[in-house]
Amino acid sequence: MAGAITNDRPSAAEGRQGRPLIVTEDVELLDDLLRLCAAAGARAEVHHGVPEGRGRWETAPLVLVGDDAARRLRGAARRRGVVLVGKDQDDSGVWQRAVEIGADHVLMLPDGEQWLVDRIADVAEGVGRPALTVGVIGGRGGAGASTLACALAVTSARQGRRTLLVDADPLGGGLDVLLGGEGAEGLRWPAFAASRGRVGGGALEESLPRLHSLRVLSWDRGDAVAVPPQAVRAVLAAGRRRGGAVVVDLPRRIDEGVAEAVAQLDLGILVVPAELRAVAAASRVASAFGMVLRDLRVAVRGPYAPGLDDHEIARLLGLPLAGEVPAESGLPDAGKPPGAAPRGPLARFCEGFWERVAVGGETG
């Protein structure tokens, strides 16, 4: 069981990376909490009451208070990030004790173990603002969605953002090939097929190929064409926790794995060639993705068929216009990834896109 108590006081350590603080004299509870910290990849500092060290109570990123210690903390300074942990599911007085020490949450073990592991892991990773996550979908085959996805990622990385490019289309041939890095060392999607629960964001980042200053999660050239939906959910969540920008190249059909990816998008871009048949095909894709994606926009790629322009295509599809994707000479070119030329038309389009959506987050 876990419950929340409203507490708007700012924390002196909000957003910092560090060791959680455990306050308890209950040996059995301490063993449980240390086990959960180990599972989350964190080392805890243990005390029987308010630490005597200067500022440690105020600066610890997370404080786990055993129910046995609540009365000893009544006079402690109020702060955010305090969790009152107990084991007695029938103890109604735990909520009053939580209020007395200014706890944000009340948690009962063993029911709340997974929630607590996730919270501790956030502390261990120093989690801040999640990455803005953009999905790119082709309105029809050959629309140029993969090219745009790569260009958006390359441009984002060039601007100094931590950037992850995710290939969610197992039949697309691999985005690492489009970036000229099919031989680069690092893991591909099949290696994550057994992932469940929480994947460490830092470990994920370090395991992936680094190409053109960004990390790439691509498909390999093996026989596997799917990973379980749980793995897609865990891996994308880990990538988002690192901050910056995540760009996902999506197929045109939604299966369980794609649905997990779409659920984590902040917005989607539907790439549509400016021809009537492409618009007709894109309307079906837009209908399918529009049911599961709150913010879907259309990007139009010329040349234009008679009677069509970008605003008319957006009107026909009933979607906001993200802009006109310009053609760029020399693509595809394995030695020159899309968007690599800083002054090229595709790079300028991508720079304008990132400026409009105002991506924040961590760089590096």
> 101 and 151, same structural domain?
no
Stretch 57-77: mean pLDDT: 92
pTM: 0.74
| Last residue within a domain, chosen from 103, 125, 147 | 125
pLDDT given at position 9: 35
Domain count, the chain: 2
pLDDT category at 245 given cuts 50, 70, 90 is very high
Say if 236 falls within a structural domain: yes
Instruction: Report the percent of the chain where pLDDT is more than 70.
Output: 91
> 75 and 35, same structural domain?
yes
Domain with 184 in it: 132-357
Q: Which tokens hold the place of 21?
A: 């603080």
> 202 and 109, same structural domain?
no
CATH number for the domain spanning 291: value is 3.40.50.300
pLDDT digits (tens, 9 = 90+) for 175-190: 999 999 999 999 999 9
Alpha helices for the chain (secondary structure H): 27-39, 56-59, 94-101, 113-125, 145-158, 175-178, 201-207, 229-241, 256-262, 276-290, 310-317, 345-357
> 192 and 57, same structural domain?
no
Integer CA distances (angstroms), 80 to 5, 73, 114, 116, in order = 11, 14, 21, 16
> 136 and 119, same structural domain?
no
> 146 and 114, same structural domain?
no
| Last residue within a domain, chosen from 109, 125, 141 | 125
> 142 and 118, same structural domain?
no
**353 pLDDT higher than 50:** yes
> 150 and 45, same structural domain?
no
Say if 362 falls within a structural domain: no
Q: Which tokens hold the place of 296?
A: 């879907």
Q: Which tokens hold the place of 216?
A: 């790439």
Stretch 38-56: mean pLDDT: 83
Say if 363 falls within a structural domain: no
